[in-house]
Amino acid sequence: MTFLRNVLRVGIVLALSLMSYGSQAKAEVFPELFIREIKITGDELVVLQAAADISDLSEYWIGYKGDEAANPHAIVPTQQLPAYDLAAGQAVLLTSDGGATCDAVMTTKLSPSLADTRGTFVVRHLASDGLTSTFTTVDSVNWAKSSASSATTADLDIRAETDDMSYAVWYHDPSLSQPWRVGNLVGCTLQLAPVADADADTVDWSQSAVKPLAIIESVDDAEADPDEADVAGDNTGLAPPLITELLPNPAGTGTDSTDEYIELYNSNDTPFYLAGFTLQTGLAAKHSYIFPPGVNIPPKQFHTFYASQTKASMSNNGGQVVLLDKAGTVVARSDPYESAPDGRSWALANGAWYWTTKSTPGTTNVIAQPAKLAATGSKKVVKSAKTKKAKTRKAKAKKTKEKSQKSTAKTAASTAYRADTPPKPTAVHPLALALVVSCALGYGAYVYRKDVANAIHKLRRH
């Protein structure tokens, strides 16, 4: 009994350990870029946090639909995140109404407007193999504000936002037993509303020491240039421009110094001021152009900068273009290219870069790729003859292969039998049978020799 008790104790301990390990492992598994905070009512903001190192944040897009029952996988993303290297644990602030950046290492504009009563917000990753592009849903959250007597299956029940919350923010931490909780944000401290089995009551973020990417810091009055103050503009909270098209090798000869161009796109609803920003071309040998005061891109517009203006030439044998802010931080970049075909532009389309024969400076990109030229005249005849011979050889080879396969199958069938078919009986040689019988009789006579002797003795007496 003591042995059985010990075995039972060990089993219970192992079971509890496995359950604890399973729950911890489940809590630690979450997307590489997840939605940490979202503010829906009043001022709107979203905070995304990286769970792993992200080398290019521009591969991620956000989308929104005003329906809590919407399928996140079917929501078409409408906003691409800026190009940025995000380390594990770092956060990005998306806002349309401002707010404290807290621990966010960068901030950008939140383009979609979130409805107070219902909606679904999604983060999706765009992967491209050069031919096709595919969106994968990374994280999503939905919310609803139902009537007092109705229940909701949404992640967030807006009715939990009470009147005493002057700045209600929903907080998501996969390590908590209840993934989403609402609280009141004051500065960079979030006081969570009390709930049953609460894992934490207060979350505090220290102010990040990293300069936000899309916020252009104003200089002191003593350092400001009065001639530039009137034209500098304010980019606070705006997403940086995207690099959307390059023409490294214009058609013809002798035009590179004037006809090469770089196209930028402003995705914001207000102008973006480029004074002090830098366009940089090249991989090993770099050429830079610093935008002078007064240069801006109108909202939702493309703007083309030609080499005649920038003097930032691009190599025909491989290169890349990046855009740097005033602090020298890369805020946008093109994909690197190798050999630049004559007259083709390197263009961005749906998150991927392509060579296109149709250059579209200052307007929507069109990806037009050349079709393979067909052979003509005598070359076409020779090609046709070669094709015919090749087809004949392939047909013969195929026929020979089929005959070989049939012969092999026939041979295999003749030497094998089905498992449900009994084998045929094999005849036994008569001499072998006589030998077996003799051995059996001899063994029986030896074992019963005394009985046989007694029987013979009795017969003789009688």
DSSP 260-323: -EEEEEE-SSS-EE-TT-EEEE-SSS-EEEEPPTT-EE-TTEEEEEEHHHH-----TTSB-EEE
Sheet strands (E) in 375-454: none
Same domain as 174, residue 40 = yes
How big is the chain by its Cα radius of gyration, in Å? 39
Pairing type for strands 202-204 and 189-192 reads antiparallel
Whichever domain contains 36, its CATH number is 2.60.40.1260
The tokens for 335 are 């994909």
* 298 and 194 assigned to the same domain: no
Final residue of a structural domain among 323, 338, 356: 356
C-alpha dihedral (344, 345, 346, 348), degrees to nearest 10: -130
Distance CA 77, CA 133 (A): 13
Query: How many Cβ atoms sit within 10 Å of the Cβ of residue 59?
Result: 17
User: What residue numbers bound the domain in which 119 lies?
Assistant: 28-204
Structure tokens at 146: 């139902």
CA distance 72 to 154: 13
Helix (H) or strand (E) holding 91: strand 91-95
Domain contains 257: yes
Question: Does a structural domain hold residue 416?
Answer: no
Angstrom CA distances, 94 to 30, 138, 142, 414, stand at 20, 17, 17, 74
Crossing angle between the packed helical segments 430-447 and 449-461, to the nearest 10 degrees: 70
Residues 95, 110 contacting (CB under 8 angstroms)? yes
**Cβ(46)–Cβ(94) under 8 Å?**
yes
Do 162 and 264 lie in a common domain? no
Identify whether residues 171 and 260 lie together within a single domain. no
Distance separating alpha carbons of residues 341 and 339, to the nearest angstrom = 6
Q: pLDDT 10s digit of each residue in the chain, 462 long?
A: 454 444 444 454 444 444 444 444 444 467 899 999 999 988 889 999 999 999 989 899 999 999 999 999 999 898 989 888 889 999 988 887 656 678 888 788 888 999 999 999 999 999 877 677 789 999 999 999 988 778 888 999 999 998 889 889 999 876 666 679 999 988 888 998 887 766 557 888 875 544 333 333 333 333 444 444 444 578 888 889 999 999 999 987 667 888 899 999 999 989 999 999 999 999 888 889 999 998 999 999 999 999 989 988 999 999 999 999 988 888 999 999 999 999 999 999 878 899 999 999 998 888 887 654 333 333 333 344 444 445 555 555 555 555 555 555 444 444 433 334 444 455 556 677 677 767 777 777 777 777 777 777 777 776
Which of 340, 356, 372 terminates a domain? The answer is 356
Backbone φ and ψ of 313, nearest 5°: -75, 155
- Would 395 be classed as within a structural domain? no
Domain stop point among 309, 326, 356: 356
Domain count of the fold of the chain: 2
**In angstroms, how far is CA 387 from the centroid of its own chain?**
43
Residue 258's H or E segment, with its range, is helix 256-259
User: Are 78 and 170 members of one domain?
Assistant: yes
- Pairwise CA distance, residues 403 & 409, whole Å: 10
- Using CA atoms, how far apart are residues 223 and 217, in angstroms rounded to an integer? 12
In a domain, 452, yes or no: no
Beta-strand runs (E) in 350-460: 352-356
Asked if residue 60 is part of any domain, the answer here is: yes
Q: Is the domain of 158 the same as that of 34? A: yes
Element (H, E) at 459: helix 449-461
